[in-house]
Chain A
Amino acid sequence: MKKHNSFSIEGQKARWGWFFVAPAILFFCLFSLYPMLNALWNTFFNVKLLSLKKPEFVGLKNYAYVLSSPDFWSSVKATVIFTLSSFIPLTVFSLVFGLIITTRKKGHQLLQMLIYSPAVLSSVVAALIWLLLFDPRGIANSLVNFLMRTPGIDHKWLTEPAKLYMATAMIYFWKYIGYFTIIVATGVAKIPTSVLEAATIDGASVRQTIGRIIMPLLRPTTMMVSIVAMLNCMKSFSTQYLFTQRGAPNAPLNVLTLNIYKTAMRDRYISRACVMSFILFFFMMILTIVRMKTSESKE
């Protein structure tokens, strides 16, 4: 029976399927799965970069060290604040802009280009541009002082913790809003026009069409956008890195990824960096599952 199935059309399709996905699976195993498993293995040893000594097995000592380190918990705090202040506006405004772009007849292409253009810049370039704007003598101070009629006030964008949270979140929003807007716009475009036409014939107002038809049909897209935005925010690195390089205080910007980088590259404690990476991975997985479960329960 099995032999027969392997020669069936489905069997042949499955073999071709495996053939086509094999390079991707191989690539994933080699460049993602193996490093991940290797990193997990390293968490149980005292691996130190540059050391020629054979690493010793230390059990869960690295986990105990990291979890009892105040530096780690301050990084968790910085990551949580940055993630919440970035991913919520990203999710909400990508929906708003996505709807505006798909519903507007005039100027939607220009709007689309304006929103999407920052996404083509590298994160480093984006952060450098904004660093110039947030310089004490930069445009940010001039603009706010002009609008608020407070000439000569230094709003300390790069030094006060609250302003730093706002500044980094603003950069991230500006950089990625276009990307998520396009995903939402694609989701809206996929909604069958017949459904929207039927709603119009039945006399639904714009608000009713959006609230009762588009939003429920967009739920899978919204969920995807919120999960991807949240995961990306938790992995944010370059903005915080460049800000600290430019003299901004470390504490409010020391997100987990920056801490991982410093622990591995500056302090050379690669095992502890692996522990933090796994804790971050664990958090991200849990939050993704929770978000997916929440969305499923609503359905």
Chain B
Amino acid sequence: MKKAVTVFLVTLLAMTMIVAKGQQESATDLSAPVTIVVWTHDDPNRSVLEKELIAEFTKQNPNVTVDYQTYPSGKMAELLTVAFSAGEGPDVFNQSQSVIRQFVVEGQVSALDPAWLGYRSLSDITSRYIEGSLEAVSLDGDIYGMPLEYTNLCCYLNKRLFREAGLDPEKDYPKTWEEMMDISSKLVKYDGEIIVSRGFDFRYATYYLMEMLPMVEQLGGKLVSDDGKTAVIGDEAWLKFFNYMKEWGPNGRNLGGPTYVSVSKVFDLNDGQVAMSESGLYQESRMRSANPSFYESDDWMVIPYPQWKDSDLRVPCHVSCHYYMVNGNVSMAKQIWGWRLVNFMLSHSEEYLKRVNLVQPTHELFESETFKNMPYSDVFKTDLEHATLTYYSANSSAILEKMKQAVEAVMLQNQDPESVLKNFRRQVQSILDEE
């Protein structure tokens, strides 16, 4: 009897909650005029597509107007932090997993109610996406964002420069980090000790956790322990990585460094400045715009992210995922329309891929002919199958900065890797202790 009463009460409670949620939506006047302010980072090609999609959305929903604003990508995190802190955040915005996690944890963004998009349950939405791609926007069973772009880096290679250096790009391309250093040494050109043409170089800037942490993880090292409490695990792996970077820099074999022009900016020019550059699938679209003849030629190819020679752990480059999110502090009507707008735009994933080369992590897209027909999409996909999201936490930006400083210390300031490691561990541990 007791059991039956309990079951009855639980069912009643659940039904009450469902009805209450339904009433919340019905109580919101969705026919009233509403303006949705969207903030997104600069990407001229994507802006054109999204403006078209917005025009289509507002045509279907005449009471909705959208104020679409773009900002430099490097400034977005700062602008959003200030705007949200002042209670003036946009209704819809996008950012990468390392930035948005703090918005999720601090309760600044709207949890998606599947009913707003006409779905019965959240799983109807989450099942569209590949495993792990929604981790950074998930909290306590709710979803706080939808993926706009899911990017892993592979290595673009200039075949002409390989051939000019007496190398066969199809056979001699670097498979290991050791080979990467040796082949770069063959490709690099100097004026005295000043580099005029690089073989390969890293992206540096904000890519330390994305492109360099996997190098440590391939050797068994970790940035943070599985329970999230201990910083910098596996001294041997970290020291091997730091020694490699020291060797790479101006005080070692002088193959590149963060003070040189970013390789991804110059690779497309095909002017001999760099033979290999890490980038995402989106780079193909940029190459097509910047240098169509190079894009159409057979002078470039894409190779997988290298592994260490003795590494048994398959860890490709981490994935950076940008999510669209909705402000949780605005009116319910704005939240609902915000989510509907996001869902509408992102339901055109093939358009994003065709026109801007942005990959959304949906099963449907990965199985589409559009994706399969993109040059070297199989290379990116194979790496993606083993890839995980770049480290994210409420303080990942601070940790990224500490890793950047540690790499700079060994590479540019010629500091001893052991003391750098000790200092790096202390700094990251201090950040973790405060979380």
Contacts and interface: CB of A to CB of B under 8 A. Distances in A.
Contacts of A262: 401
A50 B194 contact: no
Contacts, number: 89
Interface residues of A, number: 31
6 contacts: A246-B258, A248-B412, A250-B401, A250-B405, A265-B78, A267-B395
Nearest to B193: A154
Interface of A: 49-52, 71, 135-137, 141, 145, 151-154, 156, 158-161, 245-251, 262, 265-268
B192 A51 contact: no
Contacts of A246: 258-259
Majority SS at the chain A contact face: loop
Interface of B: 74, 78, 81-82, 84-85, 102-103, 106-108, 190-196, 204-205, 250, 257-261, 395, 397-398, 401, 404-405, 408-409, 412-413, 427
A269 B37 CA distance: 28
Nearest to B191: A152
Nearest to A246: B259
Contacts of B204: 247
A159 B405 contact: no
A245 B204 CA distance: 10
Contacts of B257: 159, 247
Nearest to A141: B194
A266 to B, nearest CB: 5
A251 B81 contact: no
Majority SS at the chain B contact face: mixed
A58 to B, nearest CB: 13
A152 B408 contact: no
Contacts of B107: 52
Contact of A159 (B192, B261, B395, B412): B412
B192 A161 contact: no
A251 B108 contact: no
B260 A136 contact: yes
A52 B412 CA distance: 40
A137 B258 CA distance: 14
Contacts of A158: 259
B312 to A, nearest CB: 33
B108 A52 contact: yes
Given A249-B412, A251-B409, A159 B250 contact: yes
A251 B108 CA distance: 33
Given A247-B204, A267-B398, A154 B192 contact: yes
Contacts of A249: 405, 408-409, 412-413
A248 B84 CA distance: 31
